[in-house]
Chain A
Amino acid sequence: QVQHVQSGAEVKRPGASVTVSCRASGYIFTNYSMHWVRQAPGQSLEWMGWINVGNGLTKYLEKFQGRVTITRDTSASQVYLQLSNLRSEDTAIYYCARESIYVASRGTYRYTTGNAFDIWGQGTVVSVSS
C-alpha cells in the first residue's frame, strides 16, 4: 500500500548532525514532491523544506538555511533530511509528507485547485540534549 516508513529515533548532543530517512512505497516516487515538517513538544506543525523528487530541486525555510539539506535517492525511493549544528530547540518529531496536486476540469480546460500533504511518515523523534 501507499506509505512512508521513516528511520528510528535519534538522541544527539548539541552541535551534532542528524539524518532522518523516509522510504516511500506503493506509488511512483518521482511523480511527487516530498516535504519535511517538524513538531516540537506541545507545539504546532512547522514546515522545514521540500524536494522535487523528479529533478532534485530543493527549497528550505529561511530559518534553517545553512543547517538543513534534503536529498533523495530515486533508486531506493528514499528521501533524507539532514540537520546540522543541532540545538536543544531542534528536539521534535520530524515527519516526511508527500504533496499531491489536485486538478479540476471545465470542458477541455484543466486547472489546479490546490496541493495537500496526503501521505505522511510515522514520524521520527529527534532528541537533542547534553
Chain B
Amino acid sequence: DIQVTQSPPSLSASVGDRVTISCRTSHNINTYLSWYQQKPGKVPELLIYSASGLQSGVPSRFSGSGSGTEFTLTINSLRPEDSATYYCLQSYSTPRTFGQGTKLEIK
C-alpha cells in the first residue's frame, strides 16, 4: 500500500498570508494526487486534481504542484473562508489513501 504523509497537522495564518501544505508518498505516484477542502460539518470538496489542475469553480488563489513523491498545496492571499481542513489523496493505486489532514486556522 502507498503511504501518504501530510504536514503540518495544523497551522495558523492571517488574512492575506500565503500558506503551503505538503504531502509525501511512499512510492512514485506520478501526478495521481488530488487535494480536498472540508469545512466543519460539510462534505469534502475537490480543489486540485492531477497534482496541479484547478477544479472548475475553485478560486485561482489555490494551486498545486509536484510529481513523483512530493506535492504541495499553496493558498495565496488567505481569506477567512479558507478556514478548513485540507486533505490530499493518492489515486495511483488501490487502496486509495488520504493524508491525515491539515487544519488551517485563520487568525
Where the two chains meet, the residues of A that have a C-beta atom closer than 8 Å to any C-beta of B are: 35, 37, 44-47, 50, 59, 61-62, 95, 99-100, 102, 113-118, 120-123
Which B residues are in CB contact (< 8 Å) with A95? 43-44
Interface size class of B (residues with CB under 8 A): 20 to 34
A contact patch SS: strand
The answer on a CB contact under 8 Å between B91 and A114 is: yes
Count of A-B contacts judged by CB separation below 8 Å: 73
Is the CB–CB distance between B98 and A113 below 8 Å?
no
Are B43's CB and A117's CB within 8 A?
Answer: no
For B33, B38, B53, B91, the residue with the greatest tally of chain A CB atoms inside 10 Å of its CB is B91
Chain A residues contacting B49 (CB-CB under 8 Å) are 100, 102, 114-116, 118
Are B31 and A114 in touch, CB under 8 angstroms?
Answer: yes
Q: Which residue of B lies closest to A64 (CB)?
A: B95
Partner of B99, one of A44, A100, A114: A44
The answer to whether A115 touches B44 (Cβ under 8 A) is: no
Q: Report A-chain residues with C-beta under 8 Å of the C-beta of B31.
A: 113-114
- Bound Cα distance A61, B96 (Å): 9
Residues of A within 8 A of B96 (CB): 35, 47, 50
Q: Does A44 lie within 8 Å of B43, measured CB to CB?
A: no
Pick the contact of B89 from A61, A102, A117, A121 — CB < 8 Å? A117
B76 beta carbon closer than 8 Å to chain A = no
Residue of B with least CB distance to A119 = B46
Q: Which residue among A44, A45, A47, A99 has the maximum number of chain B CB atoms within 10 Å of its CB?
A: A45
Decide if B34 touches A45 in the complex (CB within 8 Å).
no
19 contacts between A and B (CB under 8 A): A44-B98, A44-B100, A45-B36, A45-B89, A47-B96, A50-B94, A62-B95, A95-B43, A102-B49, A102-B50, A113-B51, A114-B30, A114-B34, A114-B91, A115-B32, A115-B49, A117-B46, A117-B89, A121-B43
Contact B87 A44 (CB under 8 A): yes
Which residues of A have CB within 8 Å of B65? Answer: none
Q: Interface digits, B19-35 against A, CB 8 Å rule (1 contact, 0 not)?
A: 00000000000111110
